[in-house]
A and B are shown apart, each in its own frame.
Chain A
């Protein structure tokens, strides 16, 4: 389903749910759209893609037809091989101040919570909110928690956190309402680097617990 969003973007709606299979179609289609010359960039999200196009380089009907053609080839196209990243995480204590309270609320031990969070592979559904923030899912349903009732005014960069059915990592110090389970020493956003972002939408991610005393660098 295609609808205009203003005079230089089109929203493609592939479904209406937060669902891993649907989100894979989103990323596969987003990759296919890059070959359309008038496309400036795309924003793949959970179940939609926003396509920015150059209004001086195409008409609405032309770009709409080109997108529809790509959608018709979506199912036969081989899905873009997604990258798989291992993210080291130091769980608990000062690195993850919400680990113990979250475990208590969920009626789990902290080590069970760590196991359930780190044994799954997640997909980066979309990025946003702040530059480089990966929205990942789906969490084991035993880890589902509402957001903090009072968001923190400052969550340190590298904080690994959960909320609802999702997990994410704060790329820069920012306010935040997710439960902080741990910290990764990896840098998620470096504007001066050739490739400024650690993650890309569609990536596969797995967390690896670090033994205590490591990962503080």
Chain B
């Protein structure tokens, strides 16, 4: 159980997502960086679907109301507990009454704060993930008390664990994202396709949980007819009339009417999620579904 003392940026509870409601227009939601989220829970032996605090572009200060163990993962943050500073991807023991601050430093966007046992909150439509645009769940704020389940593992066994993130997820300011050509890839000119794979893109500052707008060389279309709206998924790269890519993220609408040039592979989504607006230089590399499955499996096997 923790009490939020101070909070800037945007913080919500997120789990592995809300499944089964896409056909009704409800996005899957869930963590923006699925790898950091799963690692945060895995470090504490939590159940894989446990809710964590997702902190975006801000600082999160809380007091623990019980003795507990916490883990913080993600990119662009560090953890401060009085005179100590912890790096991310570790677990640390916190006594009742201690104050902890998750502090924004350079790079990255999202941090995941997991507690031994997992956070307890109302389950809405089979998930604890907030979807603020749809009125599901709410943004966390100072004064909120977050409850947690009783951990199944002895706290002392959970403390001071490290996750060797460098071995598994190459977070970078200049990532190359692996993408699979999407159903409308043939709507673009050969030159447009070359532009997409050979130039660099930056992340626009107006990004959010719904979508990442990229900026760079515009991508030219060969077919300009209207697409009849069809389902989209996390990682779908839509190209609207101005030729600048928009990547669908966790809270994106379930359907869209812009042609899609490609779709970011699961293994690369965390790299995109943590790109820094205006700073990161993003490139794309074509891959196949089979290769993408292999990489995803390796991450899941090796990482957790």
Contacts and interface: CB of A to CB of B under 8 A. Distances in A.
Given A56-B297, A133-B25, A128 B229 contact: yes
Interface in A1-21: 3-9, 11, 13, 16-18
Nearest to B184: A3
Contact of B293 (A9, A50, A60, A128): A60
Interface string B8-26: 0000000000011111111
A130 interface: yes
A129 B290 CA distance: 32
A147 to B, nearest CB: 13
Interface string A47-61: 111101001100110
Q: Give chain A's interface residue range (CB within 8 Å of chain B).
A: 35 or more
A132 interface: yes
B186 to A, nearest CB: 10
Contacts, number: 139
A201 B26 contact: no
A40 B264 CA distance: 19
Interface string A120-153: 0000001111111101000000000000000000
A178 interface: no
Nearest to B182: A5
Contacts of B183: 3, 5, 11, 13
Contact of A191 (B136, B180, B293): B136
Interface string A26-64: 000010000000001111111111101001100110000
Main secondary structure of the interface of A (DSSP, over half): loop
B263 A6 contact: yes
Given A13-B183, A128-B254, A192-B124, A50 B24 contact: no
A3 B24 CA distance: 23
Interface of A: 3-9, 11, 13, 16-18, 30, 40-50, 52, 55-56, 59-60, 126-133, 135, 172, 191-192, 196-197, 199-201
Interface of B: 19-26, 124-125, 133-136, 180, 182-183, 228-236, 253-255, 260, 263-266, 289-290, 292-293, 296-297, 300
